[in-house]
Amino acid sequence: MTWVFTAMTVIALVVLLASERGNVTLRNVAKPVASAGFVGVALSAGALDTHYGSWIFLGLLLGAAGDVLLLGASQTAFLSGLAVFLLGHVAYVVAFATLGVDSGVSLIAGSVALVVAAIVFVWLRPHLPPAMVAPVIGYIVVISAMLVTAVGAVVAGATAMIVVGAAVFYLSDLTVARDRFVAPGFANRLWGLPLYYAGQLLIAWSVM
């Protein structure tokens, strides 16, 4: 069943990309279906049978909920989606940490992530409304922590799927930030959405 749900996400993603040119109704259907697919992957792979898998499943559920919230165009919808995604990243941090992490490598990765986070914030800062500065800083910190924890877990012996999934998820969030605050446009979603769903699928597959 994991491949059925994977195909469900891929097909819905194609429809979603086609709808991003202005078909709001189709977009509002395709996006939740695509997100339900990665939740289904984890569930069918036995996520609820392990401590790690249960945390991953929670993160995926929160991601799917965030996707629905981000269908709204208002700042309230965006902030709500941001908060839910932040909690999803916290769930991933806990999940990756349960696998064990290499503390030395995590420290190095954390130092690199701190520099990258600073660069991202300097890029975004001129475009952020005052009310968005604190939420964006919090989000950058948490998603950076997720990526660092994934690196530490993989070095300690976990599947490489989680660090690849975390990395492409991180990159996809940069497209969301660019679309929301810097330069809105279809191009952001054209490569950002495939990155996002690839990341979520890889993280979902990691429970197998």
Q: Residues 21-64: pLDDT tens digits?
A: 889 999 999 999 999 999 999 999 999 999 999 999 999 999 99
User: What is the pLDDT at residue 10?
Assistant: 98
Per-residue pLDDT band for 74 (boundaries 50, 70, 90) equals confident
What are the residues whose beta carbons fall under 8 Å from the beta carbon of 102, sequence distance 6 or more?
152, 155, 156
| Contact assessment for residue 66 and residue 84, using Cβ atoms and an 8 Å cutoff | yes
Mean pLDDT computed over 171-180: 96
> What's the mean per-residue pLDDT of the chain?
96
- In the chain, % of residues over pLDDT 70: 100
Whether residue 129 has pLDDT greater than 90: yes
Query: What span, in angstroms and rounded, lies between the C-alpha atoms of 37 and 42?
Result: 9
User: What is the pLDDT at residue 69?
Assistant: 95
Query: What span, in angstroms and rounded, lies between the C-alpha atoms of 184 and 182?
Result: 6
| Contact assessment for residue 53 and residue 94, using Cβ atoms and an 8 Å cutoff | no
Whether residue 72 has pLDDT greater than 90: no
- CA-to-CA separations, 198 to 28, 106, 161, 165, in angstroms, rounded: 20, 24, 11, 7
Question: What is the pTM (predicted TM-score) of this model?
Answer: 0.96
Whether residue 17 has pLDDT greater than 90: yes
Which of these, 197, 183, 166, lies nearest to 37 by C-alpha position?
A: 197
- CA-to-CA separations, 22 to 26, 64, 75, 168, 192, in angstroms, rounded: 9, 22, 20, 26, 17
Mean pLDDT computed over 77-88: 95
Segment 188-201, tens digit of pLDDT: 999 999 999 999 99
Per-residue pLDDT band for 137 (boundaries 50, 70, 90) equals very high
Mean pLDDT computed over 116-137: 96
